[in-house]
Amino acid sequence: MRHPVHAIAAAVITTACLAAATAYSPRAMTQEIHAMPQTSPASIKVPSTHVQSRLRDVLVDGEAAILTRHVRSDGRNQALGGEHFSTVVSAAGVLKGFTHMGMDLAGRHLPSRERSEAIARSFLQQHAPDLLPRMRISWIEPHDEPLTVQRGESAETIQLTGMKVKARNLADNRWFWVIVGADEQVMVFERDIVWVSFPGHRKTEKWLHDNWLETQGQPASKPRA
């Protein structure tokens, strides 16, 4: 029998968090679903280019959550470090974050700081409105994320660059950010990040970061019992 927490989190993922990463993409949209109230009152869509691979139970700062990973249905660059979009949602139904890594986003023009902030605020209004009232932006700058792609018989690491809108929630002093990529797509969102000031490091687990998963000796995903 499934644990109630698993059932709640799985239901939220099915209805709310599978495609938050593509809420602002004009491409490859087919299936429309409706988000749960805890995450967003708006409709969001699932991209036709990706399929769900696996789920795994995780802990985020001691809180139960579900990591869901999607890979391209054509199998392109789906190994660890490659193309994917993944979500983390708490058992309470809160979208803790997502990442959308795709080589189609590389080498494209980025929006201005002003436009990036506007896109970030619009995204937060739909998917994390509780963060807006006491949001303090720290900086808005270009940010690189590594992506491993296959070039014939060899692998190559390229950089996906987005405009990172990094902010602090003054209500609890935790960090959050939205990274706006090429063509004004939101490619990364993370919230409730705990930072340890001394010696200066992130405490919150990095379940959405393949390079972190690799250093932990863990696969990107695994079946749940």
- Bond before 146 cis per omega within 30 degrees: no
pLDDT at 176 over 80: yes
Mean pLDDT, rounded, for 5-23? 41
Categorize the per-residue pLDDT at 38 as very low, low, confident or very high, splitting at 50, 70 and 90: very low
Calculate the CA 195 to chain-centre distance.
19
Query: 3-state class of 37 per DSSP?
Result: coil
Whether the model pTM is above 0.95: no
Q: In this predicted structure, what is the pLDDT of residue 215?
A: 86
Say if residue 200's pLDDT is above 70. Answer: yes
Please tell me what DSSP assigns to residue 157: E
pLDDT computed for residue 46 by the predictor: 53
User: What is the pLDDT confidence band of residue 222, given thresholds at 50, 70 and 90?
Assistant: low
